[in-house]
Structure 1
């Protein structure tokens, strides 16, 4: 299962629990704080990806760093440590925020490119997404220098991979299957 899909499933389950426990806005605040902290802190990203640290060590670091977080957030840390999935915490936070925006009638789309989008292209993509979805759409641009060219567009749990590396992977799978 791709990390994107796994992140979405965890985020969806987390959203369902947050709705059930009437903690949606508190969890949204936690997820935004987690996302911002991970994006701004390279050493935290290294800790979460480290194969030498145990899940318990990573969980304890997160619990210390986010000690004022909702109890449900702490439960998420425990679950991710148990399932050896702490590395996808950033993706879960992104997906949770997107689900929260959807609940409010907004759609969040992420476009991953090798270089930042210029304003014209960003406006064209945004306009097209709003036409397709019929909703207010917010576009976030992530930079992944590993992409050779093209883009990856994610809206909710859907992903459209129009990257050159994605096309090369498809071609490789096709050649290996024959």
Structure 2
């Protein structure tokens, strides 16, 4: 969940990108930032640390995201200057959400125990399109072996849990009621 500050920064960067006509470029940058921060616990720790100097954070982020759009690099500088570098990931996530909303793109997340084959992936995509009534769907894939089988589909605030682990939990609860 994004903080109000992160949403404000995301709206500002989206407005700036619209003015410059670089919405899609910044969208790609924000996907990159989000993926990088999600993959690196160490980087998130560096950004949150009050011990690490702002200039060191700036230098690290500028090196990691070298080649990104000027607007994105300016955002990084601004967050570091305002001592808010810890919310960079939240800003990126909020931007992605705002961008998708502005373009009418529905975002869905499917979690499976193993990678989906292309035919099943297209069936899930078609189901999301029919459920939402939208032709533009962004489907994010996650693999979580703990669900054992089946899938968990999340569209906005609605979640469809057809996982084996969920069904086993239901059976266990039913047994414990009867005992």
User: TM-score, normalised to structure 2's length?
Assistant: 0.61
User: What aligned pairs does 1:155-174 form with structure 2 within 5 A after superposition?
Assistant: none
In the alignment, is residue 64 of structure 1 matched against residue 63 of structure 2? Answer: yes
Equivalent residue, structure 2, for 1:113 = none
**Which stretches in structure 2 are left out of the alignment for 5+ residues?**
114-123, 143-153, 158-179
Separation (CA, whole Å) in 2 of partners of 1:15 and 1:68: 19
Match in the other structure for 1:99: 98
1:109 and 1:90 map into 2 onto residues whose CA distance is 19
Q: Distance in 2 between matches of 1:109 and 1:55?
A: 36
1:36 and 1:93 mapped to 2: Cα distance?
10
Q: CA deviation at 1:35?
A: 0.6
**Number of positions where the alignment pairs a residue of Structure 1 with one of Structure 2:** 136
Structure 2 match to 1:73: 72
**Map of 1:23 onto structure 2:** 22
Verify the 8 A CA contact 2:6 2:91 in the aligned structure 1: yes
The alpha carbon displacement at 1:91 in A equals 0.5
Name the residue aligned to 1:174: none
Aligned residue for 2:42, secondary structure, equals helix
- CA drift at 1:137: 6.8
Greater mean deviation of Cα atoms: 45-54 or 10-19: 45-54
- Measure the CA separation in 1 of the matches of 2:108 and 2:84: 24
* Alpha-carbon distance change, 137 to 5 in structure 1, aligned in 2, over 3 angstroms: farther
Structure 1 position 139, deviation (Å):
7.9
8 Å CA contact 1:31, 1:97 repeated in 2? yes
CA distance in 1, matches of 2:48, 2:30: 18
Structure ID, larger Rg: 2
**Secondary structure of the residue that 1:26 maps to in structure 2?**
helix
Q: What stretches of structure 1 move > 3 A for 4+ residues in a row?
A: 107-110, 134-142
**In the TM superposition, what whole-angstrom CA distance separates every residue of 1:60-84 from its partner, at most 9, and x where no partner exists?**
1000111111111110011101111
In 2: Cα distance, 1:22 partner to 1:36 partner: 24
1:19 aligns to what SS in structure 2? Answer: helix
Superposed, which structure 2 residues align to 1:136-175 within 5 Å? none
Q: Does 1:88 align with 2:114?
A: no
Q: 2:2 touches 2:93 (CA, 8 Å); kept in 1?
A: no
SS at match of 1:105: coil
